[in-house]
Amino acid sequence: MSQQLYNLLSGAWPLVAESRELDVVKPEGMDELWSVGWRHFGTDFFRASLMSDGMCLKRQIALRIEVAQFMRSRSQRRTFRKNRDLELSFDGAAPGEAESCLFDIHKMRFAGNVPDCLTDFLGTQPDRRPCECLQLSVRLEGRLIAASFFALGRQACSSIYAVFDPEFSRRRLGVFTMLAELEFAREQGFRFYYSGYATVESSCYDYKKEFGALHYYDWEGRWLPVGNLRI
């Protein structure tokens, strides 16, 4: 019996699996939903304490960073310096042809569970439903090479999705856009930055656990330092 299945059957890990559709949510409402582990793609909200990864069942965790306490690691400082030549802009989320083309290139990286289109993650009106959503555009000499999307609450913001051109993989653009969003969150005075889901066990989302001032939701009402996790 796998360790993951043992944890499920023994009751050692809370079992949470919920979804709902919310058309419009006030900023304070978004803060509250994120604070108890909810995520959203467009107006589809969901939270789950378990995730299927291939043939494995893994313990899923929601993550958030305390913005004022966050400091870049040595590796993250190198990533930020490496990308100083890029042009960044923050605007209301309104992906068009350029973003769709970038998405089509980006999704070629995946061997399974290949997403169809950006609207799967952003919905049809990402600039206003269910809440305000911004787009970070990253350009090199005018060429769009990465874009990320994040939602705004009153005291927090939450990463939704990011795409980048694999031609520039050495720039670590997925990490770079998160760092840029964190800098934006600091400048705007946000208390928390929600960086999405990862798993207790090793997975492709491990890079999200490499950020400082990071806490995970234990599915019982508490946010605890990631260093407390036990595999």
Q: What is the pLDDT of residues 43-68, one digit of tens each?
A: 999 999 999 887 789 999 999 999 99
Residues 181-204 have pLDDT tens digits of: 999 999 999 999 999 999 999 998
> Is the separation of the CB atoms in 211 and 65 below 8 Å?
yes
The angle subtended at Cα 165 by Cα 161 and Cα 169, nearest 5°, is 100
Looking at residue 1, what is its pLDDT?
Answer: 43
Length of the chain: 231
Which segments of the chain have a pLDDT < 70?
1-11, 110-114, 231
Q: Which residues pair with 100 in a beta bridge?
A: none
3-state SS record for the chain = CCHHHHHHHHCCCCCCEEEEECCCCCHHHHHHHHHCCCEEECCEEEEECEEEECCEEEEEEEEEEEHHHCCCCHHHHHHHHHCCCCEEEEEECCCCHHHHHHHHHHHHHCCCCCCCCCHHHHCCCCCCCCCCEEEEEEEECCEEEEEEEEEECCCEEEEEEEEECHHHHHHCHHHHHHHHHHHHHHHCCCCEEEEEEEECCCCCCHHHHHCCCEEEECCCCCEEEHHHCCC
Looking at residue 231, what is its pLDDT?
Answer: 67
Which tokens sit at 40? 């959203």
Please count the structural domains in the chain. Answer: 1
> Is the separation of the CB atoms in 191 and 67 below 8 Å?
yes
pTM: 0.92
What CATH number is given to the structural domain containing 33?
3.40.630.30
The domain in which residue 214 lies consists of 3-228
Nearest to 44 by CA among 136, 137, 190, 160: 160
Looking at residue 54, what is its pLDDT?
Answer: 77
> Is the separation of the CB atoms in 122 and 161 below 8 Å?
yes
